[in-house]
Amino acid sequence: MRFIPLQTLIAFLLIVSTSRADRLTAEITLTDRSPREVTLDAPGVLPTVVTLDGWTDRAAVPLVLLDPSAEPKFDVPGATISVTRTPEDPSRRAIGPDLSSAVMGEEAYLPTFGWRPGAEAMLRFRVVLAGALLAMAFLGATLLRGRRAVLVVLGITAASVGAIALWWRAQPRVLEMSGSIVVKRLDGTEQRDRWRFFTTRHASATIEIALTGDAVPVFVDAAHAQGVGARMRVDPTKRTRTLTATLKHGECTAVVERNAHADPRDGAEMGQIAQRLYVSTRAVVHERKRGEVLLDEVNTP
């Protein structure tokens, strides 16, 4: 196996936001090289599956907290786990929710209240057009006589039902909406938090969300995370972090990425979440746009 220096792994896997109050990291040292995966699971921590392919000795893995005060201890056969807590750098204190914990309450899901995901305008137009053509086909079948009319009607019905079934299977199982909160800092820099919300129109759907940069999952509470079966998958070699969850119809999950890039797909109404989680004595709303709220940092005594 190819050896990856511990320093390299730490440099990658500690990409969790520097704006966090505290950052927990689990350092894994293998005592038995047979495991292909290690699962880190303890009260107060989102279960994390670590892929062991590609390294032979150690890895450092960021933990997603469901309880900021958690002091997790892990008992993993074939490995020893030590947990370290890194406090926030006061000089980089962010405005908005503390990303040290994935639990942010119902306020974090305000944009999803009343969310009824529907089809795009072009798709709705195509459905109406298909319905009109189908009605014309049935009307034309009534001009035929005898058995031929019955056969034509049955043929049109079978074809339309098959087409609808194929169309429904081709629809995305997971739907997404997003929006951003942008804070203009006093030092001229910009803090952009991009929120992404996911749901499904199907009875059930499994979702996999690749987390980039400073992205972290967001839950109402620990029960919410457990209810959707949320867990992290970390691959130190490929430098990837992935959130997996299983959503039932009407359920949502979310991620937020601090210091994200602007995305033209943003369209969610972010006014309420800005008021509840960002506006304070340190920041005021400057402007509201479609899918985006701009805030200004203000001087505080």
Q: Does residue 41 lie within any of the structural domains?
A: yes
pLDDT of residue 296: 96
Q: Tell whether 148 is covered by a domain.
A: yes
pLDDT band at 136; cut points 50, 70, 90: confident
Cα 134 to the center of its chain, rounded Å: 40
Q: Please check whether residue 65 is in contact with residue 16, taking contact to mean a CB–CB distance below 8 angstroms.
A: no
Distance CA 128, CA 277 (A): 42
Assess whether 182 and 293 both reside in one domain: yes
Looking at per-residue pLDDT, the higher value among 243 and 126 belongs to 243
pLDDT for position 202: 83
Q: Are residues 180 and 289 in the same domain?
A: yes
The DSSP H or E segment spanning 154 is: helix 147-170
Minimum mean pLDDT among 132-141, 236-245, 291-300: which range? 132-141
Q: Tell me what the mean pLDDT of segment 30-36 comes to.
A: 72
Does 10 map to a domain?
A: yes
Alpha-carbon 5 to chain mean position = 30
CA 281, 190, 105, 175: dihedral to nearest 10 degrees? 150
With a cut of 70, say whether residue 16 has pLDDT above it: no
Nearest to 64 by CA among 106, 13, 115, 107: 13
- Between CA 73 and CA 85 the distance in angstroms is 13
| pLDDT, tens digit, 9 for 90 and up, residues 148-189 | 777 877 887 887 777 766 766 666 678 999 999 999 999 999
How far is Cα 180 from Cα 263, in angstroms, rounded to an integer? 9
pLDDT above 70: residue 5: no
Give the containing element (helix H, strand E) for 257: strand 253-258
Cα(234)–Cα(243) distance, integer angstroms: 9
CB 137 within 8 A of CB 156: yes
In angstroms, rounded to a whole number, what is the distance separating the alpha carbons of residues 243 and 217?
7
pLDDT at 120: 55
Note whether 260 and 173 are within 8 A (CB): no
What the block records as the tokens of 3 is 């050896």
Q: Is residue 96 part of a domain?
A: no
Number of neighbours of residue 80 by Cβ within 10 angstroms: 13
In residues, how long is the chain?
301
- Give pLDDT, residue 41: 92
Give the per-residue pLDDT at 118: 58
Q: Give pLDDT, residue 160.
A: 77
pLDDT the model gives residue 167:
66
Residue 21: per-residue pLDDT: 55
Angle (CA) 219 224 229, round 5°? 105
Which of 171 and 272 is assigned the larger pLDDT? 272
Indicate the average pLDDT of the chain.
82
In this prediction, residue 300 carries a pLDDT of 75
Tell me how far apart the alpha carbons of residues 209 and 252 are, in angstroms, rounded to a whole number: 13
Do 23 and 97 meet the contact criterion of CB atoms below 8 Å apart? no
User: Quick one: 110 and 129 in the same domain?
Assistant: no
Residue 115, pLDDT > 70, answer: yes
Could you give phi then psi for residue 18, rounded to 5 degrees?
-75, -5
Asked whether residue 281 falls in the same domain as residue 181, the answer is yes
pLDDT of 193 reads 96
d(CA 271, CA 276): 9
Q: What is the DSSP string of 128-149?
A: HHHHHHHHHHHHHHTTS-THHH
Q: pLDDT value at position 269?
A: 93
What kind and span of H or E run contains 157?
helix 147-170
**pLDDT over threshold 90, residue 46:** yes
- Can you give the pLDDT at residue 109? 96
What confidence tens digit (pLDDT) does each residue in 63-106 have? Answer: 899 988 888 988 888 788 888 887 766 656 789 998 888 999 99
Is residue 226 one of the residues assigned to a domain? yes
Q: For residues 63 and 197, state if they share a domain.
A: no
- Shared domain for 61 and 110, answered yes or no, is no
Q: What is the pLDDT of residue 119?
A: 54
Instruction: Say yes or no: 151 and 83 in one domain.
Output: no
Structural domain range at position 145? 121-170
pLDDT digits (tens, 9 = 90+) for 192-249: 999 999 999 888 999 999 998 889 999 999 999 999 999 999 988 788 899 999 999 8
What tokens does 125 get? 């137009």
CATH number at residue 291: 2.60.40
Count of the separate structural domains present in the chain = 3
Residue 34 — pLDDT band, cuts 50, 70, 90?
low
| Structure confidence at residue 239 (pLDDT) | 84
The set of residues, in sequence order, having a beta carbon less than 8 Å from that of 126 and lying 6+ positions away, is none
CA torsion 199-201-202-206 (nearest 10°) is: -20
